[in-house]
Amino acid sequence: MAANLLDFDLEGLAAYCDSLGEKRYRAVQLYRWIHQKGESDFERMSNLARSLRSKLAGVAEVRGLPLLSEQRSADGTVKWLFDVGAGNAVEAVYIPEDDRGTLCVSSQAGCAVGCRFCSTGHQGFSRNLSTGEIVGQLWFAEHRLRQGGTERVIDNVVMMGMGEPLQNYAALVPALRTMLDDHAYGLSRRRVTVSTSGMVTMIDRLREDCPVALAVSLHAPDDALRDQLVPLNRKDGIEALLDACLRYLEAAPRDFVTFEYCMLDGVNDAPEQAARLVQLVQGRVPCKFNLIPFNPFPASGLKRSSRERVQAFAAVLQEAGIVTTVRKTRGEDIAAACGQLAGEVQDRTRVEQRLARRREVIAVVAAAAPGGLS
């Protein structure tokens, strides 16, 4: 099968060109054509030697992701559904704002973490995306939105789409390097964010290999609750996670970590829980909190916190001097808001079967209990 040049960061592409007997500057030229100009036809890459174009035509291609659908929200948000083969599809979302254009990128088909409040995790996991499939979302979106223009449209990328990015580390890092490279998209490290549910060892690796902005899905002030909401917490716990965040800031482009906190009615949104968060992080990890309105889906069994409860929760954090924002829900009318991305996956983790068995056990226990269970 022909090599997909979207799979290579610049060093990888230089090595590939070297294997064809070509010098590094040819890789730079090729890289610019692909990423800066969005070109996939080697014959149109006019400053490449004809001999190189002929070589590439026989062994390589620029293979983007087949588009299955495009949806546009009333607020300007755009969601694309891409085919990644074998019955799997992933979603990417573009969010236009006054001062920037943000692309939310997926890293996996589905997600194996299974956070209780996330519809992506509820559908299970199929596979990791390749580097080319991760970069391909940005490659498509940037040049689709330019519509023949030359001005950059996307200047902010968040790895907050489908999947846990740090569980797909080998493909993630070359993709990040392509996003950052001045010969490709030239994004600032401050404008590329990796969001993780809290993989401590991998946070340390990212710090060494490619430190960008870091967002951590916290969602609870203590291990007992976080174990229920974010199953990964059972491995390391909040204390180890906060230590990893502090180590990460030694190399990070920003001087704070963003803690994401999905507001769940009656679960994690009490003022007392906000006060425990203050005790947890104050004087320990420079941070800001991003409070996220929960986007309900039927299988979650959860409800969105009221605006009043969110504001009261935020006030506790703000009065303690912690920068706190409430994320504006965007693209909700096209199911493009945070936690709603679902795509389509062939579930290797059999989530529905496991949930069905769990419901059966609960029903049996309830029936056997004296007087039943409420």
Residue type, 214: L
Q: Find the DSSP H helices in 282-338.
A: 307-319
Burial class (CB in 10 A: 0-12, 13-18, 19+), 309: middle
154, 145 Cβ separation under 8 angstroms: yes
Which stretch of DSSP H or E encloses residue 213? strand 213-217
Active-site residue (options: 22, 91, 133, 344) = 91
Q: What are phi and psi of 273, to 5 degrees?
A: -70, -35
- List the strands of the sheet with 323-326, edge to edge: 67-72, 78-85, 88-96, 101-104, 156-159, 192-196, 213-217, 257-263, 287-293, 323-326
Burial class (CB in 10 A: 0-12, 13-18, 19+), 125: buried
Give the residue among 222, 174, 167 at the shortest CA–CA distance from 195. 167
Total residues belonging to the chain:
374
Beta-strand pair 156-159/125-128: unpaired
Catalytic annotation present for 338 = yes
Q: Find the DSSP H helices in 210-298.
A: 223-229, 233-248, 271-281
3, 16 Cβ separation under 8 angstroms: yes
Active-site residue (options: 104, 115, 262, 338) = 338
- DSSP H helix total and E strand total for the chain: 12, 14
Catalytic annotation present for 91 = yes
* Token reading at 25: 């500057």
* Token reading at 76: 């300007």
Report, as residue numbers or ranges, the catalytic residues. 91, 338
